Amino acid sequence: MTTTPLTHAPHDSGVPESARDFSVAERVVIVTGAAQGIGRELARQFAAAGAFAVVADLDLGKAETVVKEIHEAGGTGLAVQVDVADEPSVTAMVDTVVERWGRIDVLINNASIFATIEKGPFDEIPLEQWEQVLKVNVTGTYLCVRAVAAHMRRAGFGRIVNVSSDAVTRGTVNYLHYVTSKSAVIGMTNSLARELGSHGITVNCVRPGSVATEVERTVNPTVEVRQRAASLQCIPRGMVPTDLVGVMFFLAAPASAFITGQTIACDGGYTHSS
């Protein structure tokens, strides 16, 4: 399907004046790792709110299934295959989106290695697995930001949202490769906010708690473990992907124009309770 490129970027006044300032309608939003789990739900919800959702994932077949769901619900979506750890692949993804819509307004760096990680003592983690986790979770985030930054700079506008994890604050044992990677994402967010703020680009980070999705993990938490974790939250129930939608919408909307370099916990108050 051919779509006429959008010729102008949205502009934020910095002062919310109406409900429109909380809208993400007509924003071109790339969600990486969007073929399943949290990313799938974010892409679906952004499209339902009137955004143009790019479902970017290594698994093109699953990404196309998500886009089909979006179209059936009356939204607009585009499936793009991408390996976030591969620079040419990331460049091709960004080129495809710009060719389709002429701009990129929002990047949500959600793709990461998580479900397939094997836990173990830090000194027993295979070096190959350590490097793979950092390559996808850290370098992949960096490559995606670098690829969209030039387009956002030219537009004088952009919203970048990185996804970390509450495992960082908990210092989860036997999970050092993942915790290290998600800690790096927070540091990257802080520095990028400094470098890109003068170009009208905000960079923030969301730190989810443990989210129940359809994705099978190498080691799935037991019902007892989930119940215990929920009991430590201020809101004592399990977290689901839709719990992240509100904060993601806000960080992509005009109302958050003066918020950057922040890491926002969305964990039912687990951090507050610990």
| Beta-ladder partners of 205 | 162, 263
Inter-axis angle of helices 87-101 and 140-155, to 10 degrees? 30
142 is catalytic: no
Which residue of the set 142, 175, 178, 270 is catalytic? 178
Other CB atoms closer than 10 Å to residue 9's CB: what's the count? 20
User: Measured in whole angstroms, how far is the alpha carbon of residue 138 from the centre of its chain?
Assistant: 13
Phi-psi sector, 26: left (phi>0), alpha (psi -120 to 50), beta:
left
Angle, helices 37-48/60-72, rounded to nearest 10 degrees: 30
What sign results for the dihedral spanned by CA atoms 111, 117, 122, 127?
negative
List, by residue number, the catalytic residues: 178
